[in-house]
Structure 1
Amino acid sequence: MIAIGITGNNGFIGSHLVNMLRLQPDRYKIINFDKHFFENKELLDNFVKQCDAIVHLAALNRHSDPEIIYSKNLELVNVLVDSLKRTNSKAHVIFSSSSQEEKDNLYGKSKKQGREILANWAHQNGGKFTGLIIPNVFGPFGKPNYNSFIATFCYQLTHGETPIIDNDGEIKLIYVSELAKKIINQIEQEKGQEVYYVSHTSLKKVSEILIKLQNYKDIYFEKGEIPEIKDTFELNLFNTFRSYFNLKEYYPVKLNECKDSRGAFIEIIRLGIGGQCSFSTTVAGITRGNHFHTRKIERFTVIKGKALIQLRKIDTDEVLNFYLDGNEPAYVDMPIWYTHNIKNIGEEDLYTIFWINETFNPEDSDTYFLEV
């Protein structure tokens, strides 16, 4: 088992890396870290001593004063190096630098110099070091106006604001889960690399991305239709977009019901994508689910009976409760990284239609069981 410590573990990349590592609890042990460790030598040294690998992600990305970004980022690196020296650590230190190194700004300068300081520590102390040069990262739960322009666009489109393009250039991008897998791969390597260029997985113009996001807003956010997903990038972009909904306000979504003397007709889902549709009955008091997905798009539609659908983002304690009644058919879509369940809270059988965007593959089910 590899003991891994992550500074910046609550940040955008850090939280995704933690969640990916937790998918393999028999292989990786996560050492607890808190940002106040940087202010306490004893706590920081205790953290460093436990680690086989340290992924240093903690950094200041934006501030009104670039000088503060520069000084803070170097301060964090130097404090970590001091602890590595005090503890005579042989941990594999992995540092997240940025393609901004190539640009003339203080953030990029702080990243380059921080990488060089850690590489120098490794040379002088027999340490193991990998310096990652990372392209632009996007994915679910990033902070708007902070982590990426995609996070900003997604937030604006789902909160009644209008995105504006400042510079319509081509951007090298990597999805945050793809980056987490690359970091884990580096942890597993026997030797470090002073400079490791993380390859981008897509190259897109800003305007091209905005057009796709506006389409998601028009047909999914406003109409409930699952858009056509042509490739992995579009799936990742769509799942990113979905993460910016205010779930409490958006769900459950009521369906249009047409009744006549024959009975009722209800349209469940419109698709620009294939997938698998299933129907279930659930007896009173029974709960289904208690699992989460990292990539799948899933819709639960209640057409008869009374149901409680619960969602919880796996690294939070907040449980979202949605009450659905077949007398007013409605659906809730399951965001990725949210564990979810559905319980029959009525006295009659519950009828539910489940749709998911890919057919079930037992060898790659993307289903991880976790109580809500």
Structure 2
Amino acid sequence: MKKIGITGQNGFVGSHLYNTLGLKPEEFERIYFEREFFDNVERLDHFVAQCDVIVHLAAMNRHSDPQVIFDNNIDLVHKLVSSLDRTGSKAHVIFSSSSQEEKDNLYGKSKREGREFFSEWAERSGGKFTGMIIPNVFGPFGKPNYNSFIATFCHKLTHGEVPHIDNDGEVKLIYVGELVQEIINQIEKLETKELYEVPYTSVNKVSEVLEKLSNYKKLYFDNGEIPELTSTFDLNLFNTFRCYFDIKKHYPVKFTQHIDPRGAFVEVIRLGIGGQCSFSTTVPEITRGNHFHTRKIERFAVIKGKALIQLRKIDTDEVLDFYLDGNEPAYVDMPIWYTHNIKNIGEEELFTIFWINEPFNPEDADTYFLNV
């Protein structure tokens, strides 16, 4: 078992890496890190001394003064290298650099000089070092106006604002889940690379991305329709978009009932994508679920009885409660990385229709059990 420490553990990429490593507790032990460790020599040394691998992600990306970005990023590298020297560590250090290295700006300069400083440490100390040149990263829970233009577009489209394009160029992109897998691959390798250029997984014009996201808003955010997703990029972009909703305000979404003397007709889901549709009956006081997914799209639709649906993002304590009643049929969709359940809180059987975008495969279930 390898002991992995992540500086920037609570950041965009860091939190995804930390949570993904947690899916394999038999392979990886996560060594806890806090930003304050950089300002406390004893705590930083204790952290470094425990680690077989240190993934250095902590950095500043944006500030009104570029010099502040440079000074901050170089200072963090110097503090970490000093700790590696003090503890005599032979850890494998993995450093997240950027394609900005090649550009004439202080952020890129801080990444380039930081990578060189780690390389010098590894050469003189016998440690291991991998410098990863990373393309533009997007994915769930990125900060708008900070991590990615995609995060900014998603936030604006789901919060009543209008996105604007400053420069409609082509952008080389990688989904955060794909980047995390690249980092894990480097953790598992016995050989190291001083310079490893992470391959991008898609190239898109900014306007093309905005067109897709605007379509997701129209079809899904406004009307509940699952759009056609013809590529891995489309699926990743759609799952990213879904995570920018104000979930507490958006759900549950009531169905439109068409009532006549025969009874009622309700359309549960309209989609341009396949998947698996099923239903369950649940007796009173029974709870189903308590699991989460990292890629699947799932809808719970209550058509009879009373239910409590609960969601919790796995690295937070806040539980979101949604009360649904079959007298007013409604649904809740499950964002990725949110553990969820459904409980019959009524006195009669609960009837629920479930839809998920891919049939269950026990060899690749993408289902991780965790109590809400």
Normalising by structure 1, we get a TM-score of 1.00
Match of 1:299, SS state, is: strand
The reply on whether 1:235 has 2:235 as its aligned counterpart is: yes
- Runs of 5+ consecutive residues of structure 1 not aligned to the other structure: none
2:365 match = 365
2:301 match = 301
In the aligned structure 2, how far is the partner of 1:260 from the partner of 1:348? Answer: 25
The reply on whether 1:19 has 2:19 as its aligned counterpart is: yes
How far off its partner does 1:100 sit? 0.4
Match of 1:229, SS state, is: coil
2:177 match = 177
In the aligned structure 2, how far is the partner of 1:263 from the partner of 1:203? Answer: 50
The reply on whether 1:191 has 2:196 as its aligned counterpart is: no
Q: Deviations over 1:298-352 (max 9, x none)?
A: 0000000000000000010000000000000000000000000000000000000
Match of 1:67, SS state, is: helix
Match of 1:177, SS state, is: helix
Match of 1:194, SS state, is: coil
How far off its partner does 1:192 sit? 1.6
In the aligned structure 2, how far is the partner of 1:283 from the partner of 1:190? Answer: 52
Instruction: Tell me the matched-pair count.
Output: 372
2:72 match = 72
How far off its partner does 1:24 sit? 0.2
One-letter identity of the residue aligned with 1:6: I
2:95 match = 95
Q: Structure 1 residue runs of 4+, over 2 Å off?
A: none
One-letter identity of the residue aligned with 1:37: F
Match of 2:354, SS state, is: strand
How far off its partner does 1:25 sit? 0.5
Match of 1:89, SS state, is: coil
In the aligned structure 2, how far is the partner of 1:350 from the partner of 1:147? Answer: 42
1:143 match = 143
Match of 1:264, SS state, is: strand
Match of 2:280, SS state, is: strand
How far off its partner does 1:360 sit? 1.1
Instruction: Give the alignment of 1:9-158 within 5 angstroms.
Output: 9-158=9-158
1:247 match = 247
2:310 match = 310
In the aligned structure 2, how far is the partner of 1:270 from the partner of 1:40? Answer: 55
In the aligned structure 1, how far is the partner of 2:361 from the partner of 2:322? Answer: 29
In the aligned structure 2, how far is the partner of 1:102 from the partner of 1:282? Answer: 59
Q: Deviations over 1:218-260 (max 9, x none)?
A: 0100000000000100000000000000000000000011111
The reply on whether 1:257 has 2:229 as its aligned counterpart is: no
One-letter identity of the residue aligned with 1:120: E
How far off its partner does 1:191 sit? 2.1
Aligned-residue Cα RMSD (Å) equals 0.4
Q: Percent identity?
A: 73
The reply on whether 1:274 has 2:274 as its aligned counterpart is: yes
One-letter identity of the residue aligned with 1:152: T
One-letter identity of the residue aligned with 1:190: L
How far off its partner does 1:145 sit? 0.2
Q: Deviations over 1:129-175 (max 9, x none)?
A: 00000000000000000000000000000001110000011100000
